[in-house]
Structure 1
Amino acid sequence: MAKAIMIQGTMSNAGKSLLTAGLCRIFKQDGYKVAPFKSQNMALNSFITEEGMEMGRAQVMQADAAKIKPSVLMNPILLKPTNDTGSQVIVNGEVLGTMSARDYFAYKKQLIPEVMKAYHKLEEEYDIIVIEGAGSPAEINLKQEDIVNMGMAKLAKAPVLLVGDIDRGGVFAQLVGTIMLLEEDEQRMVKGMIINKFRGDKTILDPGVKTLEEKTNIPVVGVAPYMELEVEDEDSLTERFSGNQEVGVLDIAVIRVPRISNFTDFNALEVIPGVSLRYVKNVNELKNPDMIILPGTKNTMEDLLWLRQNGLEAAVLKKAAEGKVIFGICGGYQMLGETLSDPEHVEAGGEIKGMGLLPMHTVFKESKTRTRVQGRFPKVEGILHTLMGVQLEGYEIHMGESTLSQGAESLTEITDMVKQESKMDGAYCKNVYGSYVHGIFDKEDVAKKVVEGLGEQKGIDVSNMAGVNFAEFKETQYDKLAEGLRKHLDMKKIYEILEQGI
């Protein structure tokens, strides 16, 4: 049976996901079969496996670091917030239903058998499982029936490494306070602490580290540096949304709708030298981009109304009229049509007018499309005519169906890899394009041809801005992460903790 170690944090965004990925890569480099695991993840960034099942992208990233195929066994429960007080609950890759926070809190104990069934299957297949917690184990109002932090550690009999974020300040109070709020048996399960995101001279920190160890009687097993890495992060507190506001040779603006999902769709464009990819949430930030992207969203109709109320819809329509490229993905694609209807109250219910940039009508339905796809751009006109004939791959996650009217052409021809059925997807009309396919830009040739089309329209030479092989690029980032952690973590001590268990 696999040995386990668990990464918990003093707060959200302390760096649990990245440290979990880094340990997965280190253990893999050291010759072990390793898998990530997170019993319950709350995120709008999701992924579809080869079997057509939905899971959180953070565990997909960690599986990539471990060089294994992602599986829903690694994330048996996914919560996708639909509003401030409720979420769609996905269990073992399939939608269980939508619940309020209170209802889910009362229900979640019933999911423990499903969590442990998934965990035990991983135990049988791997040497090491690196478990990630969620938020903080010291949320005393949530400790009852916990299934993701100390509750999970107990179920898996996993020793815990507690991570504090020094970048946001108060790291010693974070760590000591968290330990103090744990029960005595839980305190004994914390076998090491990690101070994360450190910048500067570590010798200045040493006296504090010594005091921290004295107060908690728990060793600090590393002070990890703040690392500039291009790997996927959680969607709730990502720094991508606030960074990179400088305009590059080619400027791409992603509209940051309130319920944005799967912003990882644009990472492949973001890493191309000379391309600026900015997330904008008001008209002042929009400026004059070469391409505007409307991303996926968990609430298409409400986010479209948000665009309408804050003036961004009018600004996008103006840019479209000026000939700028507008590209919608999933929910953003649905917004580009003429109408959005919700007769079954999948979202807000009723019918609203779309942006009218594509002759298309969307109807929301209870059934959810979940599949992986492969295909090509058979015929493309306009600025992105450069995509014609290019191969693509990705995945679909949506609860609506869109029907094209006269004047729109399908953008892609794809094969549903789960059902092994071919179909047409997406649409284009003049300089407006849309698709249901997440990850549509990930293949090097797709990103490269988008850049070529934008450069041609702008009249500039983009020959030195070739696309990046995103899969190979991510590999270099995981190796860079592992190398950085090996230098700053006491891996000998971490292996001892792993061997000793609890």
Structure 2
Amino acid sequence: MTRPDHPPRAVSLMVLGTASHVGKSLLTAAFCRLLAEAGHRVAPFKAQNMALNSFVTLEGGEIGRAQVAQAEASGIEPHVDMNPILLKPMGGVSQVIVEGHPIGVMSAREYYAEKATLWPRVTAAYDRLAERYDRVVLEGAGSPVEINLTEHDLTNLKMAHHADAAVVLVADIERGGVFAQIIGTWELLEPRDRARVVGFIINKFRGDVTLLDSGLAFVRERTGVPVLGVLPYRPDLQIDQEDSLGIDETTTLDGGDLSPGDLDVAVARLPGLSNFTDFWPLSRVPGVRVRYVERAAEFGRPDLFVLPGTKTTVRDLDWLRRVGLADRIIASRAEEDGPRILGICGGFQMLGRSIEDPLGVESDRERVDGLGLLDTATRFAATKARHLVSGQVIGSELPVLGYEIHMGETERRGTTAPWLALTRRHNQATILDGAIDQAGRVSGTYVHGVFDSGPFTEQFVNQLRARRGFAPLATTEWQSHRDFLAARYANLAEFLRAHLDLAPIWSALAGPSARSAD
């Protein structure tokens, strides 16, 4: 590969992994925080994300949640340049989002055919970041040595070449065969790519680290590259996840049966479930237990049942009916002591009387019946709404913060009232959002991240507690999700300093790289 005539100013580090979900996103955030604390202006970058957990930036672009968390750990505002391509799976095809805006729905083969035109846009996004920051931490995707995918690579080694990045390779010991992961990946790397690797990291270890000594020595002898350290499993340091492999981190951690005084929150685990990070804040509230359900027999007697966001609303509505959850949800509305029912985004659309799709945005069915629990009707549109919003619950001064990402508009009918009064931050447009029935039992909104707001979550939970005759939750018993995440980010750099030999990384990032002769 020929290096650019005017190479970007930033010096870069790339976090590659031996597989998906080995901890690349977390470690990218941790390295961002480490560099920021060292006084660098640092930004994260991931060329291509495949994720249903997304976020809206200030300029109205859509990117993956992991890059948002990494930007927050860096102390900067998220920007679309940090994740120029986002793929949102839709059951055999994906919506393709480039520089924050959807460009169409494509099969894998169609997307591969577009990569030659997308690559310049990826490198331009990186170069813009590299002009604005002096350090960039890149995240890879899956494994960098998947033989069948190498020719289509935009995210791993091709990006490492463009950025002239030093590389750390992360392996997950929980998966087993950690030394085979490392050595196998190393053996499949080309010599010029091996030259970029400054060290290996073993992640998610539980136990006596000295038991690994012989293996660590073997890796160094076989590759000539050191294992920089062994990171202990630390669930208390997890950040927002980019895909459903991390869904367990958004449920109540201790599991088990409900204790007296606990609230039971059941969330439908839809096949196209998106933005499940919406419910992580609830799982942290004392006395609230969040679980995911996939069939009617798991419904139980929850205090709150949630229909979450989805990228495939019609398909997932069919699934609800097929597994018996639709009938169970409808029946629970008629029960005097039944749950409060909440729909978010696609879940809100499902709660209405109908969903119309005359343009074939999501399927070839022009109209389907909803669950009929709200007197609303949704019509899909070709244009995606993407907005950061703030406002309040109507009839109160309770603040709401969050973001909209949706392809349809929902009309309230009859006496159905809106639930939230919002302002869209980029253009200051004011809207009435969502719907709530007269009894206050069923409500829906397009706002993702609504439980990130401490005051909103406190009152919402206390209303559920009041229905059960429980005393209100004291504000001092917990912290808002935003404060909670800020505390986690603050611990990330120390986590690396405590467990890694950082000298090879500091050496690699000291100045422009002389690693490659590409």
Taking structure 1 as the reference length, the TM-score comes to 0.96
The amino acid of 1:468's aligned partner reads Q
* 2:304 is the alignment partner of 1:291: yes
CA shift for structure 1 position 310: 0.2
Partners of 1:71 and 1:242 in 2: CA distance: 28
Q: Relative to 1, partners in 2 of residues 1:318 and 1:241: Cα closer, same or farther, differing over 3 Å? A: farther
Tell me what 2:207 maps to: 200
Tell me what 2:432 maps to: 424
Runs (5+) with no aligned partner, structure 2: 1-8
The amino acid of 2:468's aligned partner reads K
Partners of 1:434 and 1:464 in 2: CA distance: 27
* 2:413 is the alignment partner of 1:359: no
The runs of at least 4 consecutive aligned structure 1 residues that moved more than 4 Å come to 241-245
What pairs up with 1:371-386 in 2 under 5 angstroms? 371-379=387-395
Partners of 2:427 and 2:408 in 1: CA distance: 18
Contact 2:293–2:299 (CA<8 Å) still a contact in 1?
Answer: yes
* 2:286 is the alignment partner of 1:273: yes
Tell me what 1:343 maps to: 358
Partners of 1:306 and 1:68 in 2: CA distance: 40
Partners of 1:320 and 1:64 in 2: CA distance: 40
Of 93, 97, 101 in structure 1, the residue corresponding to residue 100 of structure 2 is 93
Of 33, 39, 45 in structure 1, the residue corresponding to residue 41 of structure 2 is 33
CA shift for structure 1 position 277: 1.1
CA shift for structure 1 position 124: 1.3
CA shift for structure 1 position 467: 5.4
CA shift for structure 1 position 180: 1.1
* 2:249 is the alignment partner of 1:240: yes
The amino acid of 1:268's aligned partner reads P
The amino acid of 1:495's aligned partner reads W
Tell me what 2:418 maps to: 410
* 2:482 is the alignment partner of 1:482: no
* 2:466 is the alignment partner of 1:456: yes
* 2:509 is the alignment partner of 1:498: yes
Contact 2:87–2:97 (CA<8 Å) still a contact in 1?
Answer: yes
Of 17, 20, 27 in structure 2, the residue corresponding to residue 9 of structure 1 is 17
What pairs up with 1:254-273 in 2 under 5 angstroms? 254-273=267-286
Contact 1:444–1:467 (CA<8 Å) still a contact in 2?
Answer: no
Partners of 1:58 and 1:241 in 2: CA distance: 14
Tell me what 2:87 maps to: 79
Partners of 2:185 and 2:298 in 1: CA distance: 39
CA shift for structure 1 position 145: 4.0
The amino acid of 1:341's aligned partner reads E
Q: Tell which deviates more after alignment, 468-477 or 131-140.
A: 468-477
Contact 2:252–2:283 (CA<8 Å) still a contact in 1?
Answer: no
Partners of 1:256 and 1:374 in 2: CA distance: 27
Partners of 2:473 and 2:109 in 1: CA distance: 55
Of 12, 18, 30 in structure 1, the residue corresponding to residue 26 of structure 2 is 18
* 2:450 is the alignment partner of 1:443: no
The amino acid of 2:95's aligned partner reads Q
Partners of 1:311 and 1:473 in 2: CA distance: 37
The amino acid of 2:119's aligned partner reads I
The Cα offsets for residues 57-106 of structure 1, whole Å up to 9 and x where unpaired, read as 100010011111000010011111111x3111111001111111011112
Partners of 2:270 and 2:36 in 1: CA distance: 38
Q: Tell which deviates more after alignment, 245-254 or 144-153.
A: 245-254
Runs (5+) with no aligned partner, structure 1: 380-387
* 2:332 is the alignment partner of 1:319: yes
CA shift for structure 1 position 480: 2.4
Q: Relative to 1, partners in 2 of residues 1:70 and 1:162: Cα closer, same or farther, differing over 3 Å? A: same
Partners of 2:358 and 2:429 in 1: CA distance: 27
Contact 1:447–1:467 (CA<8 Å) still a contact in 2?
Answer: no
Of 106, 115, 139 in structure 1, the residue corresponding to residue 113 of structure 2 is 106
Q: Tell which deviates more after alignment, 461-470 or 195-204.
A: 461-470
Aligned-residue sequence identity (percent) comes to: 47
The 3-state SS of whatever aligns with 1:461 is coil
Partners of 1:133 and 1:194 in 2: CA distance: 15
RMSD of equivalent CA atoms: 1.4
